[in-house]
């Protein structure tokens, strides 16, 4: 069943249209990779799915009971964020903020944060300062934070950017495991080898826009 439906969607910013007439349905459990040149509108599309950017025209709506509080988001990191002076546990727990009903985190939400740290293999780093971690460790922290928000869907913007090959492979393995467990994954990437290995569906944005299964993409293009 479709979780997100886009109908005749047009995207843009600063008065400039960058993507026009997009129609697609994202189904539960898909691993959708979004590809395209820099500036083609990949991040704008993802932010539009999240409700952070309004579409120029067209409609986006959620189905299958999907709510915004069930979506986790891992954006690209800035240098300022890499130097954030907080503990790993504090950053991961902050991902539960949209599930709180008051000023404090419940015992269940604290356990959720710990479970997600364990899921990505950073439970031993809980009290470490985030700013002193390696790039790969920081990405795991941010993934655990996104998982605290994610019940049904995970949106990732270049999740292995800046990581060495070993750390990138670890990150891909974690994401693949989450998808196999039923999490819908939408990932922006320039890594076509990852698209070839992990994607079930592909959205290519550019002068030629394509949306379909990986097999349909391979029949039309080459990876």
Residue 32, token pair as written in the block: 């959708």
pLDDT value at residue 68: 85
Q: Is the pLDDT of residue 80 over 80?
A: no
145, 94 Cβ separation under 8 angstroms: yes
Angstrom distances, CA of residue 181 to CA of 15, 17, 64, 90: 41, 37, 17, 26
Q: What is the pLDDT of residues 10-65, one digit of tens each?
A: 998 777 888 889 999 999 999 999 999 888 889 999 999 999 989 999 999 998 88
**How many Å apart are CA 81 and CA 162, to the nearest integer?**
14
pLDDT value, residue 67: 87
Q: What pLDDT digit, counting tens, does each position of 132-183 carry? A: 999 889 999 999 999 999 999 999 999 998 888 988 999 999 999 999 999 9
Which pLDDT score is estimated for 104?
Answer: 84
Tokens linked to 30: 């898909």
Instruction: Output the DSSP codes for 123-175.
Output: GGGTTSBGGGS-HHHHHHHHHHHHHHH-SSEEEEESTTTT--HHHHHHHHHHH
Please report the pLDDT score of residue 64 as a whole number.
81
The per-residue pLDDT for 79 is 63
Q: Which helix (H) or strand (E) holds 103?
A: none
Q: What's residue 16's pLDDT?
A: 81
The reported pLDDT for the residue numbered 73 is: 95
SS3 1: coil
Evaluate if residue 82 carries a pLDDT over 80: no
Does pLDDT of 197 surpass 70?
A: yes
Cβ atoms of 205 and 46 closer than 8 Å: no
Question: How many other C-beta atoms are found inside a 10 Å radius of the C-beta of residue 84?
Answer: 15
Q: Indicate whether 223 pLDDT > 70.
A: no
- For residue 17, give both structure tokens: 């249209």
pLDDT tens figures, 212-222: 999 999 888 87
The answer to pTM > 0.85 is: yes
Residue-range domain boundaries for the chain: 1-66+153-223, 78-151
CATH of domain 1-66+153-223: 3.40.50.300
> Token digits for 207?
């002068």
């Amino acid at each position: 069943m479709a979780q997100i439906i886009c109908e005749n969607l047009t995207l843009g910013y600063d008065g400039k249209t960058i993507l026009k007439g997009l129609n697609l349905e994202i189904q539960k459990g898909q691993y959708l990779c979004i590809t395209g040149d820099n500036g083609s509108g990949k991040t704008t599309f993802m932010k539009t799915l999240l409700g952070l950017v309004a579409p120029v025209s067209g409609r986006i709506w959620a189905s299958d009971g999907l709510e915004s509080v069930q979506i986790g988001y891992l954006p690209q990191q800035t240098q300022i964020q890499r130097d954030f002076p907080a503990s790993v546990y504090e950053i991961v727990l902050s991902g539960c903020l949209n599930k709180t009903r008051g000023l404090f985190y419940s015992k269940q939400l604290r356990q959720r944060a710990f479970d997600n740290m364990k899921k990505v293999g950073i439970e031993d780093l809980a009290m470490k300062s985030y700013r002193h971690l390696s790039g790969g460790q920081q990405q795991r922290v941010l993934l655990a934070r996104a998982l605290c928000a994610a019940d049904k869907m995970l949106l990732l913007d270049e999740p292995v950017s800046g990581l060495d090959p070993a750390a990138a492979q670890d990150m891909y393995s974690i994401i693949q495991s989450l998808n196999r467990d039923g999490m819908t994954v939408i990932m922006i990437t320039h890594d076509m080898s990852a698209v070839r290995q992990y994607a079930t569906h592909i959205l290519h944005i550019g002068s030629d826009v394509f949306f379909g299964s990986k097999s349909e993409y391979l029949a039309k293009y080459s990876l």
